[in-house]
């Protein structure tokens, strides 16, 4: 989402070299005079996510533009307030591009810390899903979509995979379930699992809140990828 390089032309030239979930940040005027940076810093998720970004985007981008890409694996919810504070105070943010969730990127765009990307030439080749919803222009670009899955240990389900997310409410799994701590992606699931429908979103989230209240009783582990996989 955020990016803070060079002049208007340079910023778009940099992003135009490759696909990315990106929006540009406001930045100090001193940076705008730089014609072409030696490198850009991209906030990303580590592990397989970072490896895929490096191989599929960063390395081809560097080869095409001559601009090296350095990945910063600070967590998305940790970097966001640092970016906001830097922009608000006229300082250089800690990263040039923030690979983020659509939810967080939209919040930042609504805060006004991004720059419209509408004049990027390669936007014409993107699917409609790439365009942000409810925002003017292109303060961010959606580059892909993915589904949330109910992962499980096969030995815990000898009779086959769970048939519903409601399995997380089973008392026998108390303290044995894990999910992200910010609700991003899971909130719609909670509404359905709580007895609601897609049509309830976003005006009637109560079924989801009720599901969360029941899930809380099962004392799930809340965290990020590293908390669940290391």
Q: Is residue 68 located within the same domain as residue 171?
A: no
Flag whether 140 is in a domain.
no
Q: Is residue 79 located within the same domain as residue 123?
A: yes
CB 43 within 8 A of CB 99: yes
Burial 154-193 (b: 16+ CB within 10 A, else e): eeeeeeeeeeebebbbeeebeeebebbeeeeebbbbbbbb
Q: Is residue 57 located within the same domain as residue 121?
A: yes
- Closest CA relative to residue 10, chosen from 42, 43, 38, 51: 38
- Tell me if residue 45 falls in helix, strand or coil: coil
Domain coverage including residue 187: 154-229
Flag whether 138 is in a domain.
no
Q: Is residue 15 located within the same domain as residue 124?
A: yes
pLDDT in tens, the chain (230 residues): 443 333 333 333 333 333 335 555 555 444 444 578 999 999 999 888 899 999 999 999 999 999 999 999 998 889 999 999 999 999 999 999 999 988 889 999 999 898 888 988 889 888 888 999 889 999 999 988 878 889 999 999 999 999 999 999 999 999 999 998 888 789 999 999 999 999 999 999 999 999 999 999 999 999 887 788 76
Flag whether 110 is in a domain.
yes
> What pLDDT is stored for residue 29 in this prediction?
45
> What pLDDT is stored for residue 21 in this prediction?
53
Q: Is residue 118 located within the same domain as residue 162?
A: no
Q: Is residue 121 located within the same domain as residue 185?
A: no
> What pLDDT is stored for residue 230 in this prediction?
66
Q: Is residue 92 located within the same domain as residue 164?
A: no
Q: Is residue 32 located within the same domain as residue 122?
A: yes
Q: Is residue 18 located within the same domain as residue 97?
A: yes
Q: Is residue 96 located within the same domain as residue 209?
A: no
How many domains are contained in the chain? 2
> What pLDDT is stored for residue 13 in this prediction?
35
> What pLDDT is stored for residue 103 in this prediction?
85
What's the count of helices (H) and strands (E) in the chain, helices before strands?
9, 7
> What pLDDT is stored for residue 20 in this prediction?
38
CATH of the domain at 124: 3.40.190.10
Of the residues 130, 162, 183, the one at which a domain ends: 130
Q: Is residue 158 located within the same domain as residue 219?
A: yes
Flag whether 136 is in a domain.
no
In angstroms, the Cα distances linking 110 to 130, 205, 207 are: 17, 22, 27
Flag whether 1 is in a domain.
no
């Amino acid at each position: 989402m955020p990016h803070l390089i060079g002049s208007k032309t340079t910023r778009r030239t940099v992003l135009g070299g490759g696909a990315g979930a990106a929006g540009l940040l406001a930045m100090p005027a001193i940076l705008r005079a730089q014609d072409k940076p030696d490198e850009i810093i991209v906030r990303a998720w580590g592990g397989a996510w970072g490896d895929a970004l490096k191989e599929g985007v960063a390395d081809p981008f560097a080869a095409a533009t001559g601009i090296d890409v350095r990945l910063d694996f600070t967590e998305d919810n940790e970097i966001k307030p640092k970016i906001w504070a830097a922009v608000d105070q006229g300082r250089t943010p800690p990263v040039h591009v923030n690979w983020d969730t659509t939810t967080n990127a939209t919040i930042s765009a609504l805060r006004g810390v991004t720059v419209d990307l509408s004049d990027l030439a390669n936007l014409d080749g993107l699917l409609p899903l790439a365009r942000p919803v409810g925002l003017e222009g292109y303060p961010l670009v959606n580059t892909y979509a993915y589904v949330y899955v109910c992962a499980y240990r096969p030995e815990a389900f000898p009779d086959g995979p769970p048939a519903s997310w409601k399995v997380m409410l089973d008392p026998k799994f108390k303290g044995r379930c894990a999910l992200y701590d910010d609700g991003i992606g899971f909130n719609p699931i909670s509404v359905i699992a709580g007895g609601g429908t897609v049509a309830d979103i976003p005006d009637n989230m109560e079924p989801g809140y009720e599901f969360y209240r029941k899930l809380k009783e099962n004392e799930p582990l809340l965290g990020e990828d590293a908390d669940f996989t290391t």
